A and B are shown apart, each in its own frame.
Chain A
């Protein structure tokens, strides 16, 4: 009893052995250099433009904006990428691929730009990790096999699990310190002690706003708000994935009418030839016979 159904799946694909080998080569070339690098480069840029500073600096990681903005921005690419990998291949790793890709980009930046070039220590510019949330999102899609249930439960957990995951990474920075008789968190002090000439303190967008009901539980209020917006944003990006991920082609039928063909996998099959004919107008069986005949004559 094999672990996977791979043998059955390969058989059902009706590809000859050399086709199977070739498909694995396509997997490698397509997945790593194209899908992975493409996603990590563009998602990294997209994320840094929309939520960059909250992720760069330790003294921006507040209970209101950081907690709200990060999941909303980080769920965008997963929405579209999950649509693509799920709809066409039933592959449930779109979110994990997007977010590990983002983090690969982040860490390249931390090592080369922040530490090596600008001389900030890695703890000061430590990024958040939403891989935990991405795993939940992907697993939810695999188990529910429904984008709507994924949007409702998966994305909800995606945003709600943001703060508890980050707390393990950044909790230390909320220890109180007293500098010149003034109480600050260690994060505030690190923002103060490491001189940022172009990013003065007032640039911080933190702890302002009206999400302050329910006493001091600001962070959970923000997370709830973030979860609802993330659901909406996920759905929109799922649809963006649908829009840019359309695969169809136009065929000219026997009567010369152009029609849109959504079933791209039908190309080259007998069924296709019977329905639409072949380019030279000969049925597939007849074409093979004709070619064989021609070879014989010459």
Chain B
């Protein structure tokens, strides 16, 4: 077994890798290098942290003591500039070499900044780091006119937080029904409708360009099959248009990179001494490149798998992909691949305080999504993972206990 493991990046993927290595009995040197002040969690950045109801200490991934207890050498505010697998080291920005027999790349990604004319303005924000969130929060005073571009997960959550803080929010997306592929068109449509009910103006349009004006920034909209909306002036703009995986150091070390750092099912990159986990990793299975999963739990699972690979132990079983999102005081969870369902059934109704949608195929659940009914999705997840045969009728009936269906 390798003596010295260096993990590059202290997001949930990197920290989970470190934790899983020690839990699995790794006894060598373990170093976690992170460019930020200390490893913190990202999902709150569009929710409570943005709202100002959680501070940076509350979103630390682990208490400081944990790193000591686990004998993890944590190098904060330190950036790895290059991999030197041939020298058994990684290089830091100051030129120092850090010995490493195996390296785990957990570099995450940066917020996408599409080349929209005028988007370099100070009034245009992105949201990926705690600093981004701090800066955005300052712009979200009561009454502020805010444009959110992109109604995917981060845009929708930030828009919801902004309206809660008293902002006048416009949410623009060229996609008519964001998230449809992940949770099904019907639920996605309902969820998107929540914005309107919360007082947000939703526009079915993209943005063409920005111009700084005295007292604001003007946004010009593209028409997405409809007459273009009139240009409008805002106090602040948030671009929530996706993330770009951070692959530079993998690329310059000659590792295979194709829209992500290509890994096998054990998280190994094209270099045997280097693994990759979390948002930047892209799995190749049976010769096919899968889409990257940009979700929190997937990053954690990658870490557990990478640790098993380094330790030569059996990896934890793969589970159906799961994520959550919170907006307008509704807690949404989703599991599996809704796009592969041939039949969907609603448990309860869209008017209920809590309900869920199940996607079925060949008498099995392949996906589910819930609104304020997380236990429905936890049940569905087990139905998927255990390949339990179920019928649509009982699934749709809220009086049927889902756990009883699990027992088969």
Q: Are A and B co-members of a single complex?
A: no
Q: Which residues of B contact A (CB under 8 A)?
A: none
Q: Which residues of A contact B (CB under 8 A)?
A: none
